[in-house]
A and B are shown apart, each in its own frame.
Chain A
């Protein structure tokens, strides 16, 4: 689609948006927003006392009450944790009254770090003793970022492994891959297709569809599946439930200069209290980008997505919602991997049912079933070696599952119980065509061979609030089973690996407990202890001689691996004061037993299948690894015009013993050596970010300046031949203008000083010693319309 058409459409939309603002009849409408951050408040109660009419706000904070008789009335707006708003209004005869209502928080909380859980069982008095970061759609949409993996690097102690221009793989406090439980809408899992994780779970969700992004750090929250290093929960937008039939829509148009990219996101919602629906579509494309020195990096990607939701509320306590989304990614460059993604087709389906039982003793019943289908195709057709061998890999990955939860409450006691289940299957081949041979021979190699992992779990979580003490305890038991058809790897018609013992079963027990103790009304101390156990994933169990690790080795899966366990403690202090702001300090310490990593196999035992690798590593359970670090956050009080936020974080991780090859100057392996207390690879260095802003026009216009300092990373893994990375400083400016509830414009400059830098977790460009630099200066603008 030509960009000019989009811009014509944008102008039309803008004109219609402004004009609809002036017409209509017998309607009171508007938005309920956080008075400090201008974030929408989803689920706020809006009630017209004199008319006995009420409604709830949708995810964008919007409400509408139609068919109201004109005259004076009293509007009451309330939301948990905020001061209620009551105001006398006069509704004009035959007209629309538009209001943007700003609610003031009852207690100041740190922007972007809310201390609440993501379930219906939370109470306003109970705070969690572990770190929970949350950012909402308004914060996300104001940035130029077009994928979730890139965005979450803005959250304290969250990083991303860059292998291409987009879809970074998240790292939380040094935990990564299957050590993180990534899910959508409280339970839906997605299994990526690529063995090299070019499509991690977060790559299959569009950032424009996100309502909020939550990260629960540590092995503590067991209600949403096994938790090892943390949970990343992507809450997607849901259509609002309106009192009377209503249709509304919104549109986002974004542009970035480096990489040159555009994005368009359109949303249409409608329905009433009985039946409601939502439709949305996203289209975006980005080109290559230049670093600060003007060097070009392959980062091209194209993606489009459509999404539909249909809900029924047969009674006020019953809600059934069916969701379907279909995403297509095409021609995505991954210069740090041996292949590029040619096409990825992802279908996500889910059915959610909730029943708010009439009894106050029972928690709501929630039931979820889902299916995630990924068909992933990658090839080397744009790489130099495709002149001799064209390799095309196609993988189908399916994840089917569900969860059921309910519970009991009595006074200050809450007990949530439930069960969850997931069934993952994966199959795929790599077809190699030798196009410089006269007979063009074609060889097919197995990547996955009907590999299956199933996991069924039972969980319980207990909470109790005392006057100065909040307790929480959680536990789960998992029954894990994995199998695969015989694993056979043939190279040029010759069998080089075979395994027919691929089955394993585990029963894992995880538990956590902790408390928040209120030393004063605004000062608390929290301690959380937990042990999270996870079974090995598909790659660790079944991968067959592919270079999927950080180092240049072919990796071999190990079906006999044992689960690894994270034994962690978090100590957190929080101070919240209306005059001072919010300060949060956290320290954590973790010992991971049966740590899963790779050990070198001698060539006599297994030769590699990939040209140019150093050898073969097989996954095994090392003795233990240790993670420790801290996080510090400060947010200024909401009453002042200045906006200040400071965050800092650091993680150090090491393994007690690792073995590496000794390689001489000519590249020959001459032996092996043991490295004691070797730092783990791909651990982010110390970093801190300071954001300063000022609220003009009563908060409608907010310019911000953001500076990020990242230290040099010297703690590098010898066993993985990891290189140190230099420190850097980058700055950016942004400005948001909230014209009204219908129009917002955001723009800015990222990497203001055009610095040339790369993150420690960026992989090197494959086949070279060249680092994968981040983009240089980038101008961006986002236009957001709502009707």
Chain B
């Protein structure tokens, strides 16, 4: 009987550890797109939480206005934001934050001809 009990406890342990061994959950990361420094407004395109490309027109009152979009995603996912403006006297700064830290950033000054594109894949 003692033998059987010890075997059963052994088997229970084996089963539990087998199940735990298969638990390979990946933790998500917080991503935030941030656009600043624009005093009149801009057009922005970004990849949202569902992986779709979204376009928005944003109007700002001063360069201290901050536009943000935040979502949770997994490591390896694409993050993307591009922005442009039409006021030749304006400027813009675009950042992608991953877990609160700057992952990628770019800016432009008095350049209405080119887009500011910031993108990458969330590090593993």
Contact = CB atoms under 8 A, between A and B. Distances in A.
Chain A CB within 10 Å, residue with most, of B3, B6, B9, B19:
B3
A697 interface: no
Contacts of A440: 45, 47, 53, 80, 82, 119
Contact of B121 (A13, A264, A328, A390): A390
B51 to A, nearest CB: 10
Contacts of A283: 21-22
A12 B16 CA distance: 14
Interface residue tally on B, bucketed by range:
20 to 34
Interface in B19-39: 19-24
A25 B3 contact: yes
B7 to A, nearest CB: 6
A264 B21 contact: yes
Interface string A467-496: 000000000000000000000000000000
A268 B12 CA distance: 10
Nearest to A250: B14
Given A1-B20, A264-B21, A20 B9 contact: no
Given A281-B21, A328-B24, A435 B6 contact: no
A268 B14 contact: yes
Contacts of B20: 1, 5
A777 interface: no
Interface string A1-36: 100011001001100100110011101000000000
Contacts of B3: 20, 23-25, 27, 96
A433 interface: yes
B97 interface: no
Given A16-B9, A268-B14, A435-B119, A304 B82 contact: no
A331 interface: yes
Contacts of B88: none
A12 B12 CA distance: 12
B80 A1 contact: no
A20 B80 contact: no
Contacts of B24: 302, 304, 328, 330
A435 B118 CA distance: 8
B17 A266 contact: yes
B73 interface: no
Size band of the A side of the interface? 35 or more
A787 B2 contact: no
Contacts of B9: 16
A268 B6 contact: no
B64 interface: no
Nearest to B104: A387
A78 interface: no
Nearest to B83: A438
Interface string A237-268: 00000000001110100000000000010111
A787 B20 CA distance: 21
B115 interface: yes
Contact of B124 (A12, A96, A331, A787): A331
B12 to A, nearest CB: 10
Contact of A13 (B10, B53, B115, B120): B10
B11 to A, nearest CB: 6
Contacts of A386: 120-121
Contacts of A25: 1, 3
B59 interface: no
Interface string B38-49: 000000010100
Interface string A265-281: 01110000000000111
B100 interface: no
Contacts of A6: 17
Contacts of A437: 117
Contacts of B78: 390, 433, 435
Contact of B21 (A1, A390, A787): A1
B115 A23 contact: no
B14 A251 contact: yes
A381 interface: yes
15 contacts: A1-B20, A1-B23, A9-B17, A16-B9, A20-B3, A20-B7, A248-B7, A249-B10, A268-B18, A279-B18, A281-B22, A435-B117, A438-B45, A438-B115, A440-B47
Interface of A: 1, 5-6, 9, 12-13, 16, 19-20, 23-25, 27, 96, 247-249, 251, 264, 266-268, 279-283, 302, 304, 306, 328, 330-331, 342, 379, 381-382, 386-387, 390, 433, 435-440, 787
Given A1-B21, A435-B120, A439-B82, 16 more contacts: A5-B20, A16-B6, A19-B6, A20-B10, A23-B3, A249-B10, A264-B17, A268-B14, A281-B22, A306-B22, A342-B76, A386-B120, A435-B117, A436-B119, A440-B47, A440-B53
